[in-house]
Amino acid sequence: MNTPESLASMEQHTALLYEASKLLGAPPNLKSAMEAVLTGALHRHGLSACLFLTDPGEGPLRVEFSLGLSSVFAGSIRVPKGEGVIGMVYASAVMRQVEAGQRQDGDPLLDTLIQRQRLSAVLILPLKADGRIIGAAVYGSQTARQFPEEAARQIAELTDHLALALYNGRRVADLEASRSKMEAQVASTGQELSKTNARLVQKVRELKTVYDLALATAASRRVEDIVRVMITGIKELIDVQGAAFFLFEGTSDTLEPAPPASISRRPPRANSSARPAKAAGSSR
């Protein structure tokens, strides 16, 4: 028969699970929301510290979230997979309790954690999400000699919710990073295509202009017609507002602009020093 105390305990546990379920959607403030939930859990069960270690994919387990420990110490923790008590819990997916005074040979990290935090009991749980083990959780108490069965069950149930929240948060972050990368690639590809299209359009314009110049110069013997066509073509090719040709006329040593309409063939003067008209670019 349920007592008022047990009913109150179940109500508190259900409230924590409800708050943890809100994190399954991977909200932007996931870590701070997890801290609020775990702070309530630590206070309710009389715990003093907790660690969430996750698998980064390569290398040892690393601390992703901690409460009750200094950030420097938590950041220095590395747990090889399958080694020590924490590593074995990760590898076997089996919960483990450790009491103070039970020296863990070959696991100096856990001994250091117990001594540093003055823990009397430690509960280590696998982090399960999406049918796989993604890490391990460590809870420590400074008062209890061991975790009661019901307390361990409730902590494990809450840990499963938080493990799934962490897993979903990581997937959302990966998807956002992938989307940002894809958007950058699409934008870069679009810019390259625009530049290529502009170069092709310019090339077509150049080829058409050169073709028109060739036809016009081949079909006409009048200098003014040829110059007019060349000026029009040059303006089209290099995108300018105006163009002019400077010609030598007769014996003059001065270049004079000659509009196409005014260009005409003048017979050379009866002088042995007379020179024919030349384009400015071909004179020396």
Q: How do residues 75-92 score in pLDDT, each as one tens digit? A: 899 999 988 899 999 999
What are the tens digits of pLDDT across the range 174-224? Answer: 788 888 888 888 888 888 888 899 888 888 877 887 787 777 777 776 777
Range of the domain at 212: 204-282
Domain membership flag for residue 213: yes
16 and 125 in a single domain? The answer is yes
165 and 232 in a single domain? The answer is no
CATH code where residue 106 lies: 3.30.450.40
Task: Give the pLDDT score at 246.
Answer: 65
pLDDT confidence band for 262 (50 / 70 / 90): very low
Is residue 146 within 8 Å of 124, Cβ to Cβ? Answer: no
Domain membership flag for residue 239: yes
137 and 208 in a single domain? The answer is no
Domain membership flag for residue 188: no
- Per-residue exposure over 271-282, b if at least 16 CB sit within 10 Å of its own CB, e if not: eeeeeebeeeee
* Mean pLDDT computed over every residue of the chain: 80
100 and 139 in a single domain? The answer is yes
Counting the structural domains of the chain, the total is: 2
Q: Distance (Å, rounded) from C-alpha 165 to C-alpha 129? A: 9
252 and 144 in a single domain? The answer is no
Domain membership flag for residue 79: yes
97 and 225 in a single domain? The answer is no
pTM of the model: 0.63
Domain membership flag for residue 187: no
The mean pLDDT value for 221-244 works out to 70
Domain membership flag for residue 108: yes
Question: Is residue 3 scored above 60 in pLDDT?
Answer: yes
pLDDT confidence band for 271 (50 / 70 / 90): very low
- What are the distances in angstroms from CA 136 to CA 51, 80, 160, 162, 251? 8, 12, 11, 12, 99
Domain membership flag for residue 84: yes
Domain membership flag for residue 231: yes
pLDDT confidence band for 6 (50 / 70 / 90): confident
Between 265 and 68, the more confident residue is 68
Between 264 and 60, the more confident residue is 60
Q: Does an H or E element contain 48, and which? A: none
30 and 147 in a single domain? The answer is yes
